């Protein structure tokens, strides 16, 4: 079963949900692109893409190459400034310090979600593994609990991405309880 088919099967039942998607490193990039393409192009849902792994311009270029309507997406980039890249102000992206600063990430997500007009919307969070590089597992678990609660309050389709790693199995099991759906890709 392909990524799109899994998404349609798992996500079609709910208007609002919090989904944890665990993906292999090999399928990571393709999975992210397929999920966003599904939400934006097939479901015509605007949303917020939080990137902790790749700079905004790289993510946007990859989505543009797949002909995803990036005009429907607000980006939050927590990697460009950390890497010393060009974080020029744009109306499509909020550049924040780094993945260690969970308060900045939280406030930026709140601003971005509220900036999207009423109606269906999504929040795509990429990825938990990067948070684990900068924060302790217990801190990440608390943040995901907080994030899943906020996603429900915001009434969004929430998707949290995590790489499938044996070392993260206990954390993934713990985080799954905060989510409505756990999709393994």
Residue 125 lies in a domain: yes
Structural domain count, the chain = 1
pTM of the model: 0.91
Domain presence at residue 35? yes
Q: Does any domain span residue 12?
A: no
Q: Which two tokens stand for residue 138?
A: 């217990």
Provide the residue range defining the domain that includes 118: 20-184
98 found inside a domain:
yes
Q: Is residue 157 part of a domain?
A: yes
73 part of a folded domain: yes
Query: Which CATH number characterizes residue 154's domain?
Result: 3.40.50.300
| DSSP character string of 44-81 | ---EEEEESSS-HHHHHHHHHHTT--GGGEEEEESSTT
DSSP string, 134-168: HS-HHHHHHHHHHHHHHHHHHT-EEEEEEE--GGG
- Is residue 114 domain-resident? yes
Short-list 91, 97, 102, 96, CA closest to 132: 102
Q: What is the pLDDT along the chain (185 residues), one digit of tens a residue?
A: 676 777 677 766 567 789 888 899 898 999 999 999 999 998 899 999 999 999 999 999 999 999 999 999 999 999 987 776 777 778 899 999 888 889 999 999 999 999 998 889 999 999 888 898 889 988 988 999 999 999 999 999 999 998 887 556 777 777 778 888 888 87
Q: Is residue 14 part of a domain?
A: no
């Amino acid at each position: 079963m392909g990524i799109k088919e899994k998404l349609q099967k798992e996500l079609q039942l709910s208007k609002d949900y919090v989904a944890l998607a665990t993906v292999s490193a090999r399928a990571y990039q393709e999975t992210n692109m397929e999920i966003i393409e599904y939400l934006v192009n097939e479901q015509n849902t605007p949303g917020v893409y939080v990137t902790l792994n790749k700079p905004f311009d790289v993510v946007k270029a990859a989505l543009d190459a797949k002909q995803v309507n990036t005009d429907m997406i607000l980006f939050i980039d927590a990697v460009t400034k950390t890497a010393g890249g060009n974080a020029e102000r744009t109306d499509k992206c909020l550049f924040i310090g780094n993945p260690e600063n969970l308060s900045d990430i939280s406030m930026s997500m709140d601003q971005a979600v509220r900036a999207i007009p009423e109606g269906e919307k999504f929040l795509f969070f990429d990825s938990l593994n990067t948070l684990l590089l900068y924060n302790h597992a217990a801190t990440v678990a608390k943040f995901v609990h907080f994030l899943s609660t906020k996603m429900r309050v915001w009434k969004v389709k929430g998707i949290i991405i995590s790489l499938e790693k044996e070392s993260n199995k206990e954390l993934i099991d713990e985080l799954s309880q905060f989510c409505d759906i756990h999709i393994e890709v």
